[in-house]
Amino acid sequence: MAELTGEVLGPSELTGPERDRMFAIMEQVYDNTDRAVFEDDLAGKDEVIVLREPGGEVGGFSTQLFVDLDLDGRTVRGVFSGDTVIAPEHWGGMSLFQTFARRYIVPRDDPWYWFLICKGQRTYRILPTFFTDYWPDRHRPTPPEAARIMAGYATTLFPDDYDPATGVLAYRHPKDRLRPGIAGVDEVTVRNRDAAFFAERNPGHALGHDLVCLTELDPGNLRPRHRERLLGP
């Protein structure tokens, strides 16, 4: 299977057939999807990473929202990833995260964060695979500053669903969820310590609950062995 190529567009630049294909991929991977909810999420985002097959058809996407938090009298900035999915036949490629990295992981004067929520262990494992510092981390407790930022963006974006005691978005209303077998914490993957940690911290993942996560999007926070591959020489 040929590698997908990525580009970043505004939601208004997407055509009707492209939106149809994006939602069709969502239906492949998620239960309890709703076209109106999908369209509302898309309309509320600033940018969309679109992955394309060699012929131009959409093979995956990730929606992005720029967020400014007022935290303790200062502004904390970052990007929040919303609906994100890749067609199963393209799983295992690097195109999505490489496109994300080249767009958002750039040197800045002030800290710039990735506000990430994870329904599945595959998404969570992006953090230990590519980043040096990220939260939550099975190796160490979350520092108070990171915890405040995580709670800040979770309560701003999901005020009715965030549980500060667990760090999980336990949705009160029906929510899309990964299809059985895709949620991905089984007797094989649970042998991976990061997957097992995700399952422990987010026991309701099969119901569509999201684990609230955070990392700083700075080139120096990428693990050295991945930095050039992601960002280029």
* Structural domain contains residue 1: no
Kindly tell me if the per-residue pLDDT of 233 is higher than 80. Answer: no
Q: Residue 1 — very low, low, confident or very high, per pLDDT cuts 50/70/90?
A: low
For residue 215 the two structure tokens come to: 């990392």
State the first-to-last Cα distance of the chain, in angstroms, to the nearest integer: 26
Q: How many domains does the chain have?
A: 1
* Structural domain contains residue 14: no
Mean of pLDDT values over 176-191: 63
Q: Residue 181 — very low, low, confident or very high, per pLDDT cuts 50/70/90?
A: low
DSSP-assigned states of every residue in 10-75: -GGG--HHHHHHHHHHHHHHEES--HHHHHHHHHT-SEEEEEE-TTS-EEEEEEEEEEEEEETTEE
Which structural domain, as residue segments, surrounds residue 137? Answer: 63-231
Q: Which residue has the tokens 């967020």?
A: 67
111-159 pLDDT, tens digit per residue, is: 999 999 998 888 999 999 999 999 999 999 999 999 999 999 999 999 9
* Structural domain contains residue 13: no
Q: Give this prediction's pTM.
A: 0.91
* Structural domain contains residue 164: yes
E strand segments, 87-131: 112-118
Q: Which residue has the tokens 């199963």?
A: 88
